[in-house]
Amino acid sequence: MRIVLATPLYPPEIADVAAYAKELARRLSKDHEVTVVTYAHLPEPISGVTVVAIEKHRPLLVRLLSFRNALARAIRGADIVLAVNGASIELPLLLVSRHRTTPLIFCVADRAAHDRAGLLEHLASSRAGHIVSDFPPRRPEILPFAPRPTEELAAHERSWDAHVAGLSRLFHHAH
């Protein structure tokens, strides 16, 4: 299955949304062809994942149009679009989704942005076949001189396995 992941943040950014997007792309790429469309300067590569980065230091209008164009190209032939909420992707997503029938899954990974969301997010999420708002917790930190958090790491891995399995069910339901 060809999946496009549209996300406003991606490593080397350190926000939780960026870490989520990278981990999700890495895990999905084991069974699917994944393309990430994001705003980034020198994005971190992932083996087996195509990352299309829009330079985030460009003027706003140029940046939004570039993202829209990159997203439109990436969606051609895609089976699913996963969109992570964020104002900078919602307008391009709305413009592209008007002319495409590719199923959309909207991920509310940034709860703070969602809580203050405006019309754009509501319009973008209304185009989605599914909205995902349950995500794996942060990976437990491994600290020097502290016992390895083995049980917490195992629970974290199980939560990711469940998350990806749930998304896979949505992919097949949407398609």
pLDDT, position 158: 96
pTM of the model: 0.90
Q: 134-154: b or e for each residue (b if 16 or more CB lie within 10 Å)?
A: ebbeeeeeeeeeeeeeeeeee
Pick the CATH number of 2-174 from 3.30.413.10, 3.40.50.2000, 3.40.190.10, 1.10.1200.10: 3.40.50.2000
Token output for 65: 């149009």
Enumerate the domain spans of the chain. Answer: 2-174
pLDDT, position 164: 95
Query: pLDDT tens digits for 111-135?
Result: 666 566 677 777 777 787 888 888 8
Token output for 5: 């992941």
- pLDDT above 90 as % of the chain: 61
Number of neighbours of residue 31 by Cβ within 10 angstroms: 12
Contacts for 113 with CB less than 8 Å, ≥ 6 apart: 85, 86, 87, 121
Query: pLDDT tens digits for 61-102?
Result: 999 999 999 999 999 989 999 998 877 888 898 888 777 788
- Strands (E) located in the chain: 2-7, 33-39, 49-54, 80-84, 104-107, 130-132
